[in-house]
Amino acid sequence: MAASVMRKVKLKEVCDRITVGHVGPMADKYVADGIPFLRSQNIAPFRLNTDDIKFVPREFHDKLRKSALRPGDVAVVRTGYPGTACVIPNTFAELNCADLVVITPSSELNPHYLAAIFNSAWGMASVAGNLVGVAQQHFNIGAAKELEVGLPPRPTQDRIAGILSAYDDLIENSQRRIKILESMARALYREWFVHFRYPGHKSVPLVPSPLGEIPQGWEVRKLGEISSHINRGIAPRYHEEGDSVVINQKCVRDQRLDLEPARRQSKSFPSEKRVCFGDVLINSTGVGTLGRVAQVYENLENCTVDTHVTIARAGQGTDLDFYGCCLLSHQEVFERLGIGATGQTELGRGAIADIDLVVPPHAVQCRFGAIAKGMRTAAETLGKRIQILRRTRDLLLPRLLSGQIDVAALGHA
């Protein structure tokens, strides 16, 4: 792509609409079913995250026509991770949003190309340089309208968008397969350890226990009794060039560990605060994040958690996969155990350790673990594939946008 065919334009010159989502209190507006309502956490780089999506009544949606979203619009995060952008897919007939910049590109501008600009290192830096506000900095529509971008001809934009979308499709397909594997493991856990339909169950009678009838030979035990370690994290001293990784509440979401929001620090930390393979991480403070659970399925070097997260580690004689699935199944229990005033709710280590569990014999745990491990290993392989695809896409992105790569020579995606 020759530099001569790249022209500089302001976004307001090539967009039909640049507006902002609803700004204001929302806690009392949400309903169980209604119009899907997007927030910053629903916008991930290049994709819409529909997990934990909220809904608002139609009357409220109708009052906010200015911030209604349509397929092909680009939604851009204003606060938190400003500049993160994705294109609204055609899977929703109606959408609305809070605290997002909403852009409707004209026919001159491919929306996926625009999302790529925002998600690039240049785009993030440009947004960061145009933030306003004192208490909480944000990206406003005035800065968005004046943002100057390089714009090649529409066919070149379409070609670049097609290449990037091919990577995103592969990533999304792998993510779907991971979800299926995870749901299979959890369904198996429920079948064996909730409904007690495990191999050989017909020959084992049920006997009374404090938690109701359980198979003979099984026990009711405290979580602390089958754990070797339940500990909160550190108060970090963040430094982007630091050599240790600090996991925070944002990393624990949808019963998965996502290291993208993790930060770095250079301060040393005690060995008992180190995150190890098989550990279960439990968010222990905060409204909306309290009680979220994820298990660590990778070997993380020099990694810890901050004080808002608790590390729970299986004790000797407890199968790792049984332990993880057991704690994942108790997420709602953890959420209910938080105490304190609104906004300061906290889940203490003692409350976590005191939870009663139905614990099967070690042989049954291991038999479950052998099956679950196969599902977990397949999910890990897909996770590594996603990492490679993201790295490759992110390496291509600046070269495609700058014209260093001749898209005409790449063939069809």
Determine the pLDDT at residue 41: 87
Torsion of CA 66, 69, 71, 76, to 10 degrees: 110
Q: Does domain 219-359 correspond to CATH entry 3.90.76.10?
A: no
Which of 1.20.120, 1.10.490, 1.10.260, 1.10.287 would CATH assign to domain 153-207+362-413? 1.10.287
Determine the pLDDT at residue 3: 45
Tokens for 381?
Answer: 């392989």
- CA–CA dist 31, 56 (Å, integer): 5
Domain coordinates in residue numbering, the chain: 9-152, 153-207+362-413, 219-359
CA distances to 117, 409, 411 from 1, in Å: 16, 10, 14
Give the pTM. Answer: 0.77
Residue type, 393: R
Task: Give the pLDDT confidence of 256-288 residue by residue, as tens digits.
Answer: 888 888 899 988 899 999 999 999 999 998 777
Residues 116, 164 contacting (CB under 8 angstroms): yes
* Of 74, 84, 72, the residue nearest 127 (C-alpha): 84
pLDDT above 70 covers a percentage of the chain that reads 95
Q: Which residues pair with 97 in a beta bridge?
A: 38
Residues 310, 281 contacting (CB under 8 angstroms): yes
- CA–CA dist 224, 315 (Å, integer): 9
Task: Give the pLDDT confidence of 129-182 residue by residue, as tens digits.
Answer: 888 765 667 888 899 999 999 999 999 999 999 999 999 999 999 989 999 999
8-state DSSP, 69 = B
Helix crossing, 121-128 with 362-402: angle to 10°? 80
Domain 9-152: which topology?
Answer: Adenine-n6-DNA-methyltransferase TaqI; Chain A, domain 2 (3.90.220)
Tokens for 361?
Answer: 């014999």
Tokens for 47?
Answer: 């994709």
Task: Give the pLDDT confidence of 43-83 residue by residue, as tens digits.
Answer: 989 999 887 799 999 999 999 988 899 999 999 999 888 99
pLDDT band at 413 (very low <50, low <70, confident <90, very high): very low
Tokens for 190?
Answer: 């429920």
